[in-house]
Structure 1
């Protein structure tokens, strides 16, 4: 933030002209809030300039205001200030990245791509823009194009862990778990001495290994992530739930999930894990209590609603179970889950499911064997 009184008449004219052209103010009159934020005053015109070019100084402050507003939930007003900054200084790379980021927050990938394309080729931030551009291409289901761009970036700079992570994340999001584990592995290979910030890539590779049914390798990566970042709630949740689901390390697994919930009590997915862990152990009353809370936090998640339906069924609340399953069905679950939900709506939980839940608490070999 610049000191009070650094904006002169040139800045006033520039802001007024921009607002007129973009329908932000009638007759080119600045509104009081804009005047206040720009600290325009008689005293300002009497002070010496603290920047060489007034437009550059104004652009810098407008960028700061826009970026701050965007981070604090004021996306719409943030867009206005960032566009103002870019009107004054069209090649302001940080303002461009912040504007594109706001479009991402607002789920406008097409607009974000257009802004990323405007980042100057010579800018040190151009590579960041190219990575995020690819991420937004994937959001538009232009996944092949996104992967092609990222593979090119990785080929140009094989140690660029940001590009590697972006490529792995796209493949993980598309459920290409073997491929994403391999990509994350390339990133891990570039790390000479793992440190705390590296926990995320081990965590992501662990997820990919687990989903690819390579539990021993998944467990190793998840433990490494937890060693790098002790008490990290997402890792505690994933590893702890995996153990409980397999019927191994039950006490430690439940302790880890509870600790994750303590840190993230408003994270519906983590609360769901605790409820479903109780379900797997046959403690259906506790399962209902936590799963109801999870549904409050994530009412539009089909899996959590499905879990609550199962728990209701186990506690004899048949009407409520069918309601939750119907709701889960209408929330567009994955195709394989939709089949199971429809079967439950027709005939309830299968009889063998009762013994499966009860046996979850019996110790098994690691890996589910």
Structure 2
């Protein structure tokens, strides 16, 4: 039997490779082809339902996230009908210009292009037929102000229709919710004031300071957390949307919150300092203090709140015993008590029962 010509074998190999590539191209074209038209020439598409768009998300022509948006429920006028974005912008052109620069507007406009039935303005403000007929009637549309005629609960319900879960799991029952705060007290989705979060002020900390002025002033003290410098913000420690503790801490306790940055103070220690283990607040003012290291009182007065002069040489120390006092005591020079008892947060040294090392 004669051998095949090597050149013919190479030709057959390339012909088979070309056939394989052609098959792959045909399969890809069929997969990526647009939806076929029916007999009437109209494109066949799934019904405009949440289930339909959920199914199509597994393909390549998934609708935008807002494509299923429906008008929010206005409890004051459940019979109101949707009128569409053009009716809203005919009167509210200024608001529409401001809104156009926000994240919500970008998503809604893309969704509207994909599905003309998508609710845009009415997705947040509710059906506008009653408002269009009588614009001065309070409550005719969901208004996000305290004097707009819409209960705060209805305003919040509209926002939580999309923004539920996650950090907002504990909103109901939180201190902000119990004090009748609306989402719009901290957020303004109509104007891009802030880089993130759509907050009503340029930063999260400025937004919080509109109510918590006393806390904001504490950051102006000599020793303070680096919030004014922009290194941290209020939400690094607090969740303003609600937590399971009264001060809206993101963790279960004050200490756990502090340990997120000050991990070296966590321990465990062979010799622990009881007030430290109980709460960092026993010794520190967390927002700002006029004492060294955010202390609530100067040393030695802070230490002597628990440790009296008994079983320790000499007398009870007072302000006159400080370095600039009338009867300066050598034990209070330098760092005071912590000159010797340096490991006040706890010690692992075998000779550290007095927190010396």
TM-score, normalised with respect to structure 1? 0.26
Larger Rg, first or second structure (1 or 2):
2
TM-score, normalised with respect to structure 2? 0.27
**Which structure has more helix as a fraction of its residues?**
1
